[in-house]
Amino acid sequence: MNAVAELARRAGVVGAGGAGFPTHVKLDARVEYVVVNGAECEPLLTVDQTLLIRDGERLAAMLEEVRQALGAQEARIAIKAKHEKAVAAGKAAVAPYPALQVVPLGDFYPAGDEFVLVYETTGRLVPQGGIPLQVGVVVLNVETLWNLAEAKEGRPVTHKWVTVAGAVKSPGTFRVPLGVSIGEMLTLAGGAGVPDFAVLNGGPMMGKLVENLAEPVTKTTKGLVVLPRLSPVVQVRARPLAGILRQARAACCQCQECTDLCPRHLLGHGLAPHKVMLAASYGGSRVAAPVTAAFLCSECGVCDLYACPLGLSPRRVSQALKEELARQGVKNPHKGAPAGVHSWRSYRRVPVARLLPRLGLKPYARPAPAREVTWEPEQVTLPLKQHVGAPAEAVVAVGDRVEAGQLVAEIPAGKLGSRLFASLSGWVAEQTPTALVLVRRRP
Ligand code: SF4
Ligand code: SF4
């Protein structure tokens, strides 16, 4: 394992943009390009810009180290051109390094989808069902790189940068200890500005509905978006699956709008959401190509939140099919097939300027600046699985004293996973099969 991969492993670094893949595994490679994802793809979120503006030089120095460790000829930081301050900060920071550059992106969704990003920054096409490594590229999120810079200075991952936006009184981007509750995050942002609200963990397009405000912030919580419960963005997630499937059967007119705008389809992948809808509606073989094509869906939400004129949800149908296929032990058969970019792709990318009004988000497109707060929670809940792979194994027990930054859970031997560190100094108050609870005062 190279030096930066080992750094990531020791410090518990995982993909901070939402994916949670253990970074040490990703960095244990030789590639031609390192791409830093600063696209800030989800509307309203501003963590990447905040870090680029605040800490551009540290990020560039760390990126150069990553580039050298992976033997890459170049490293490219992708930032939307409209984020002028972040672009300027990035360009100034990379100036001393000839092999680093900033690549400005257009303002479309989903510019930050890993496959889209690789194509936009390198011209290379990740095969369907594949990963960027297959085309000589490693993609890192901005905060992941920031966490590597922290690790270099001896600090493991104990905190998370989170934007709290939408219908809150004071939107902001905060750095908080892992394990604070989502309810506490809303308090930091002044509380909800509407009486009947829902919270999306991860942003309006791909975020998941938060069921309980006691849920903890984890290594992959990038944004919390508060919206009125009746917002279409909330409703498309809240509707029961049975109703979604019934609607698909009764109302889908096979107009193909969802397919025409599907970002994965436009990259030439064998995913046609209108055919997924047809297959789900009328049954047939569970392993027929239109059904298993659901494996290729990135769940970006373009089809249900933007494309479909009838408000149907090929995304939810694809999610349901993927779950059902996984239950049956069916694996993705659509791997590595050659892909060719659709000739209309550049005209069919979804402009964010049109997306915001369509989602009813324009009133919430307000700045969410970095807000320096010292939030010292009395208690944190640390799930043992905050990453792709096996849950970490606790190395502390109830009643133990722990110091902030101390290792509390280790990667199980021989498994894919990530280490976990205490985010406050205090005591281990509780251990469940899935989490550790730490408290500041002795129980
Ligand atoms: S856009 Fe809507 S109605 Fe048209 S094919 Fe797709 S799901 Fe069916
Ligand atoms: S969510 Fe819809 S638009 Fe996005 S990849 Fe899946 S099918 Fe395509």
- Residue 30: its pLDDT value, please? 96
Q: In 3-state terms, what secondary structure has residue 405?
A: coil
Is there a contact between 291 and 321 (Cβ–Cβ < 8 Å)? yes
Residue 289: pLDDT over 80: no
**pTM of full prediction above 0.95:** no
> What does the pLDDT look like over 264-273, one tens digit per residue?
999 999 889 9
CATH of domain 159-231: 3.10.20.600
Closest ligand 1 atom to Cα of 274: 5
Which of residues 66 and 279 earns the better pLDDT score? 66
Residue 299: pLDDT over 60: yes
Compute the average pLDDT of residues 331-351. 82
Cα–Cα distance, 377 to 277 (Å, whole number): 46
Cβ < 6 Å from ligand 1: which residues? Answer: 252-258, 273-274, 277, 307-308, 310, 312, 314
Name residue, tokens 């005591």.
427
CB neighbourhood size of 156 (10 A): 21
The residue type of 285 is S
Task: Put the strands of the sheet holding 223-228 in their side by side order.
Answer: 172-177, 159-166, 223-228, 197-201, 208-209
Name residue, tokens 């705008």.
261
Pairing of strands 197-201, 223-228: antiparallel
User: In Å, how far from its chain's centre is CA 206?
Assistant: 8
- Residue 241: its pLDDT value, please? 85
CA of 243 to the centre of ligand 1 (A): 16
> What does the pLDDT look like over 136-173, one tens digit per residue?
999 999 999 999 999 999 999 999 999 999 999 999 99
CA of 109 to the centre of ligand 2 (A): 12
Which of 411, 396, 324, 377 has its CA nearest to residue 176?
377
Q: In 3-state terms, what secondary structure has residue 201?
A: strand
- Residue 337: its pLDDT value, please? 63
Which of 175, 121, 182, 185 has its CA nearest to residue 150?
175
- Residue 73: its pLDDT value, please? 97
Q: Is the shortest distance between the CB of 273 and ligand 2 below 6 Å? A: yes
- Residue 202: its pLDDT value, please? 92
Surface-to-core class of residue 2, CB atoms within 10 Å of its CB (0-12 exposed, 13-18 middle, 19+ buried) = middle
DSSP letters of 31-95? -SEEEEEE---STT--HHHHHHHHHHHHHHHHHHHHHHHHT-SEEEEEEETT-HHHHHHHHHHHT
Which residues pair with residue 351 across a beta bridge?
Answer: 108
- Residue 31: its pLDDT value, please? 97
- Residue 328: its pLDDT value, please? 85
- Residue 346: its pLDDT value, please? 86
Q: Where are the domains of the chain?
A: 3-152, 159-231, 237-359, 379-439
CATH pick for 379-439 out of 1.10.3470, 3.40.50, 1.10.357, 2.40.50 = 2.40.50
CA of 340 to the centre of ligand 1 (A): 23
CATH of domain 3-152: 3.40.50.11540
Q: Is the shortest distance between the CB of 206 and ligand 2 below 6 Å? A: no
Residue 252: pLDDT over 60: yes
- Residue 208: its pLDDT value, please? 93
CA of 329 to the centre of ligand 1 (A): 28
> What does the pLDDT look like over 253-266, one tens digit per residue?
899 999 999 999 99
- Residue 279: its pLDDT value, please? 82
Surface-to-core class of residue 65, CB atoms within 10 Å of its CB (0-12 exposed, 13-18 middle, 19+ buried) = middle
- Residue 156: its pLDDT value, please? 98
Compute the average pLDDT of residues 176-199. 96
Q: Is residue 322 within a helix (H) or strand (E), and if so which, with residue range?
A: helix 314-327
Q: Which ligand ends up closest to the CA of 280?
A: 1
Average pLDDT across the chain, whole number: 93
Nearest CA to ligand 2 atom 2: 303
The residue type of 348 is R
Surface-to-core class of residue 277, CB atoms within 10 Å of its CB (0-12 exposed, 13-18 middle, 19+ buried) = buried
Q: Is the shortest distance between the CB of 262 and ligand 2 below 6 Å? A: yes
CB neighbourhood size of 204 (10 A): 27
**pLDDT band at 56; cut points 50, 70, 90:** very high
Cα–Cα distance, 129 to 117 (Å, whole number): 16
Residue 7: pLDDT over 60: yes
Is there a contact between 253 and 112 (Cβ–Cβ < 8 Å)? no
Q: Which ligand ends up closest to the CA of 113?
A: 2
Q: Is the shortest distance between the CB of 299 and ligand 2 below 6 Å? A: yes
Residue 99: pLDDT over 80: yes
Range with the poorest average pLDDT among 332-346, 404-418, 428-442: 332-346
Range with the poorest average pLDDT among 190-199, 215-224, 241-250: 241-250
Nearest CA to ligand 2 atom 8: 262
Closest ligand 2 atom to Cα of 273: 7
Is there a contact between 368 and 164 (Cβ–Cβ < 8 Å)? yes
Nearest CA to ligand 1 atom 1: 308
Name every residue whose Cβ is closer than 8 Å to that of residue 382 and which is 6 or more positions away in sequence: 178, 179, 216, 408, 409, 420, 422, 423, 435, 436, 437, 438
Nearest CA to ligand 2 atom 4: 300
Q: Is the shortest distance between the CB of 224 and ligand 2 below 6 Å? A: no
Compute the average pLDDT of residues 81-102. 97
- Residue 388: its pLDDT value, please? 95
Nearest CA to ligand 1 atom 8: 252
